[in-house]
Chain A
């Protein structure tokens, strides 16, 4: 393979991991949503680069879907939700930034070790791609675990899903229908979550999921 093409693909995938770290670091909601849009943009670039080097035109469709839904529609919708809920000033700290960052670095190291060891016989590009994709998935999960605000958890979930798309495009021969259906399932998840957020807010005057636990009577 052309070393330049490989390096560029490598760069985009690495960029996705970097943006995941930025997401982890953000504790304000608007900044978080903007960063999520940036991640979607990087993902769209990465996917279209894959489409170019694999000569797989259907991946362009995936890239466009990613860009439109994740880069524009979802961040815009979440922006409006945050504005209407009036929680744009909220700052949340459950786990401090430094421990989160350290945990994130450890997770990236772990996924590198696992993936490079497991995929010894795959081609180099797929190996790197899978390792980065697993890092993004783990960082997304870490974000869901370390945040209390429902909106941040949704963003964590969606960034996790970005990692899946990255893995899927890195592996050759993934049918288009799978990617499209993943895209739509995320959109539906957004709608459900949006409705849910308003319902939670109606009930509890907060989108802090701890309010749910208190209402349930935690640790009975």
Chain B
């Protein structure tokens, strides 16, 4: 079975090479995205079949790579789930790219790297030894970096690319060290050997910290998230969708693979750092999503929030697993995986919508949009579905997975360790805060961009985008709804993954009457997506009917000539900044260090009044500035080494040799 996937990967790589060699063809965009679409669909179908048929793990060793190691590939339930997700995301992005890619000014900066990026992510998920894993991980990072740099002439993109590649390098280095510790002194680089040799407690702690750092920097855990809101928006929109919706999932996969599979049985405290980081990530991510005004940057910060939610569920699963509550661990794991699936669906959808808005209006600032729902009704509808889903509104899929996560959090009083018992409700409170703020964030995004009246001429003249893009968005929106109405089926499909990672699974949900789900017991809590959907639809129809029938007919008195808008200037509408201002004020001290400055000229002065707001991401000031300063200082200090005399150079070599010999002599 890995053979078929490897053939698909080889096909994607060949596609990249062909594009590089072929140069400029007229229909290159169609060919590349068409082929990528077909290959991704085949791979996604294969992986989904494996998952649904609960096939046993199958592996393959190829004599390439390191001479004595070879390249090991293995597809088990966990890999097939993530393979299905990334290939589905890849297929959706390719379909969207069929239309969106035609607007690309320099297609050759995107086309060769797109299939290579997909191929890299596929190989990461199949890798069964550290060397193959790290190699494909770096390949994926480099491909994504090339895509970030596709529009390198735009301001800020160079900096985004630089921060991206530095963070990717540091993260990969941490993973390298993690695998080094896992492999131990005997060099067991194949995952199969790592599984049989559980590391000592101290080494396991080091591996956990390193993999949290390495995978967390790719996923966007606070404070390693700084590159993400710079880099993800810089790429073309369908690639942003891939990076946010799919590549972060590869990082989640890496964490699950190491923490649940390779690292052996967990200690009780492993969940603690994961929980804390996840909760902080969720809140800080959504806070920044709430204050930014760049459409794609909002979405990137919201990705950080969702990664936080996923990591909270994973940390909880680790905590339950260490305490011997396999069923609760399976519930938390299922919640995390379900949210992985959901986030890949609605984040891709939202980035596609953002791309459509950019194509139609040429602007990413939501402050320059407005009233787009009238000009782009289909895009607006799909965006509305995406916004509702990511805000965790029932009956959509985001609600189902977050509800599962809260069910797992509510089980925390049964945990034996006091630290987890106290910490988990706190993390739950943070998640609740993040969920509420996410709602506000997407009300703001949709309300400012799609409702009201156009703030600029370009948004007043926006036209609906092409059919391919609409098909991709529509398909994703339907899936968001379907996964929300049939959560039981999704949970059952995830059962083999949960069983592979936690040793248990939630009891089958498909057998429940009326499509309802009950994660623990029906007497305790249950949710029925279909019922909620029917209720919402019927009550909305009823409300619409009543409004149209009764309210429209009622007698109203209003000023005669202003058509319901007493003020004519669209700029007086509620703006993105004003919507965010309360939150910015409340959290200004610890999250933003926001400073608002009002410049009100005295009467008689003719210059315009101004209101400027500045804020910074505190993690820059706290975590990065000191490091950058230290590196600069060290570089300055090392610079002196350029100007030594010959004898001093010789003395350095000599001293190094003597030092090493001394180390050797004093070695126990």
Partner-B contacts on A (CB < 8 A) = 107, 110-111, 113-114, 117-118, 138, 141-142, 144-145, 148, 209-210, 212-213, 218-220
Docked Cα-Cα span, A210 to B643, in Å, equals 13
Q: Is the CB of B646 within 8 A of A141?
A: no
Q: Is the CB of A110 within 8 A of B645?
A: no
Q: Is the CB of B654 within 8 A of A141?
A: yes
Q: Is the CB of A209 within 8 A of B664?
A: no
Of B55-63, B577-585, B655-663, the one contacting chain A is: B655-663
Residues on the B chain within 8 Å of A118, using CB: 664
21 contacts between A and B (CB under 8 A): A107-B658, A110-B661, A110-B662, A110-B665, A113-B665, A114-B665, A117-B665, A118-B664, A141-B650, A141-B653, A141-B654, A144-B654, A145-B650, A210-B645, A212-B645, A212-B646, A213-B645, A213-B646, A218-B643, A219-B643, A220-B643
Q: Is the CB of B664 within 8 A of A114?
A: yes
Q: Is the CB of B658 within 8 A of A138?
A: yes
Question: Within residues 635 to 651 of chain B, which ones have a CB less than 8 A from any CB in chain A?
Answer: 640, 643, 645-647, 650-651
> Per DSSP, are chain A's interface residues mostly helix, strand or loop, or mixed?
helix
- How far is the CB of B641 from the nearest CB of chain A, in Å? 11
- How far is the CB of B651 from the nearest CB of chain A, in Å? 5
> Per DSSP, are chain B's interface residues mostly helix, strand or loop, or mixed?
helix
Least CB separation from B640: chain A residue: A219
List of 3 A-B pairs having minimum Cβ-Cβ separation, nearest first: A213-B645, A113-B665, A114-B665
Docked Cα-Cα span, A139 to B640, in Å, equals 28
B contacts with A, residue count (CB < 8 A): 15
Docked Cα-Cα span, A141 to B653, in Å, equals 9
Residues on the A chain within 8 Å of B661, using CB: 110-111, 114
Least CB separation from A144: chain B residue: B650
| Apart from A141-B654, A144-B650, A213-B646, 18 more pairs, CB < 8 Å | A107-B658, A110-B658, A110-B661, A110-B665, A113-B665, A114-B665, A118-B664, A141-B653, A145-B650, A148-B647, A209-B645, A209-B646, A209-B647, A210-B645, A213-B645, A218-B643, A218-B645, A219-B640
Docked Cα-Cα span, A117 to B662, in Å, equals 12
Docked Cα-Cα span, A212 to B644, in Å, equals 11
Residues on the B chain within 8 Å of A148, using CB: 647
- How far is the CB of A219 from the nearest CB of chain B, in Å? 5
Residues on the A chain within 8 Å of B647, using CB: 145, 148, 209
Least CB separation from A137: chain B residue: B657
Residues on the A chain within 8 Å of B650, using CB: 141, 144-145
Docked Cα-Cα span, A107 to B661, in Å, equals 10
Instruction: Give the residue among A117, A145, A209, A218 with the most B Cβ atoms within 10 A.
Output: A145
Docked Cα-Cα span, A111 to B664, in Å, equals 10
Docked Cα-Cα span, A117 to B74, in Å, equals 45
Docked Cα-Cα span, A111 to B647, in Å, equals 23
Docked Cα-Cα span, A110 to B658, in Å, equals 8
Least CB separation from A147: chain B residue: B647
Docked Cα-Cα span, A167 to B433, in Å, equals 71
Least CB separation from A217: chain B residue: B643
Residues on the A chain within 8 Å of B653, using CB: 141
Docked Cα-Cα span, A111 to B660, in Å, equals 11
Least CB separation from A117: chain B residue: B665
Partner of B657, one of A113, A141, A212: A141
Interface flags, B468-496, vs A, CB<8A=1, else 0? 00000000000000000000000000000
- How far is the CB of A26 from the nearest CB of chain B, in Å? 18
Least CB separation from A142: chain B residue: B654
Residues on the B chain within 8 Å of A210, using CB: 645
Question: Within residues 164 to 193 of chain B, which ones have a CB less than 8 A from any CB in chain A?
Answer: none
Docked Cα-Cα span, A139 to B665, in Å, equals 18
Least CB separation from A94: chain B residue: B647
Docked Cα-Cα span, A113 to B662, in Å, equals 9
Residues on the B chain within 8 Å of A141, using CB: 650, 653-654, 657
Residues on the A chain within 8 Å of B651, using CB: 145
Docked Cα-Cα span, A210 to B645, in Å, equals 8
Residues on the A chain within 8 Å of B657, using CB: 138, 141
Residues on the A chain within 8 Å of B645, using CB: 209-210, 212-213, 218
- How far is the CB of B637 from the nearest CB of chain A, in Å? 14
